Amino acid sequence: MEIENAKEQFLHLIEQEDRLQMREFLNDQNISDVAELIYEFPDYSSQIIGNMSIHRASSVFKILDLPVQKEVIQGLPPFKTAELLNELPADDRTSFLEELPSEVVKELIKLLDPDERRVTLSLLGYPESSVGRLMTPDYIAVGIDWTLQEVLDHIREVGKDSETIDVIYVVNDRGEFVDDVRIREIILANPQKLVEEIIDNRYITLNVNDDQEVANQIFKMNNRVALPVVDDKNILLGIVTIDDVLWVANEEFSEDIQKIGGTEALDEPYLEMPIIKLFKKRVVWLIVLFLGEMLTATAMGYFEEEIAKAVVLALFVPLIISSGGNSGSQASTLIIQAMAVGEITISEWWRVLRREIISGLLLGTILGLIGFIRVVLWNSIFHTYGTHTVLMGCTVGFSLIGVVLWGTVSGSMLPIILKKLGADPATSSAPFVATLVDVTGLVIYFSVAYLFLSGILL
Within-domain flag for 258: no
Report whether pLDDT(71) > 60. Answer: yes
Q: What pLDDT is recorded for position 1?
A: 47
CA distance 306 to 299: 12
Identify the top-confidence range among 91-105, 194-208, 236-250, 277-291: 194-208
- Residues 9, 37 within the same domain: yes
* CATH code (residue 319): 1.10.357.20
Question: pLDDT for 328-364, tens place per residue?
Answer: 888 888 888 888 777 888 899 999 999 999 999 999 9
- Residues 147, 107 within the same domain: no
Question: How many domains does the chain contain in total?
Answer: 3
Question: Which residue range is the domain that position 396 belongs to?
Answer: 270-453
* CATH code (residue 94): 1.25.60.10
Q: What percent of the chain has pLDDT over 90?
A: 25
- Residues 120, 156 within the same domain: no
Mean pLDDT along residues 122-150: 88
Report whether pLDDT(178) > 90. Answer: yes
Mean pLDDT along residues 201-215: 89
The pLDDT confidence band at residue 429, using thresholds 50, 70 and 90, is low
3-class SS letters over the chain:
CHHHHHHHHHHHHHHHCCHHHHHHHHHCCCHHHHHHHHHHCHHHHHHHHHCCCHHHHHHHHCCCCHHHHHHHHHHCCHHHHHHHHHHCCHHHHHHHHCCCCHHHHHHHHCCCCHHHHHHHHHHHCCCCCEHHHCCECCCCEEECCCEHHHHHHHHHHHHHHCCCCCEEEEECCCCEEEEEEEHHHHHHCCCCCEHHHCCCCCCCCEECCCEHHHHHHHHHHCCCCEEEEECCCCEEEEEEEHHHHHHHHHHHHHHHHHHHCCCCCCCCCHHHCCHHHHHHHHHHHHHHHHHHHHHHHHHHHHCHHHHHHCCHHHHCHHHHHHHHHHHHHHHHHHHHHHHHCCCCCHHHHHHHHHHHHHHHHHHHHHHHHHHHHHHHHHHHHHCCCCCCHHHHHHHHHHHHHHHHHHHHHHHHHHHHHHHHCCCCHHHCCHHHHHHHHHHHHHHHHHHHHHHHHCCCCC
Is the CB of residue 7 less than 8 Å from the CB of residue 39? no
CA distance 337 to 356: 15
Question: pLDDT for 77-87, tens place per residue?
Answer: 888 989 999 99
The pLDDT confidence band at residue 268, using thresholds 50, 70 and 90, is low
Question: pLDDT for 376-417, tens place per residue?
Answer: 898 888 776 667 788 889 999 999 999 999 999 999 998 898
Within-domain flag for 132: no
Last residue of a domain, one of 197, 222, 242: 242
Q: What pLDDT is recorded for position 428?
A: 58
Mean pLDDT along residues 255-261: 69
Higher pLDDT, 422 or 254: 422
For the question of whether the overall pTM of this predicted structure is more than 0.75, the answer is: no
Last residue of a domain, one of 204, 226, 242: 242
Within-domain flag for 263: no
- Residues 323, 229 within the same domain: no
Is the CB of residue 180 less than 8 Å from the CB of residue 239? no
Average pLDDT, the chain: 84
Within-domain flag for 135: no
Within-domain flag for 348: yes
Higher pLDDT, 309 or 46: 46
Last residue of a domain, one of 125, 157, 174: 125
* CATH code (residue 231): 3.10.580.10
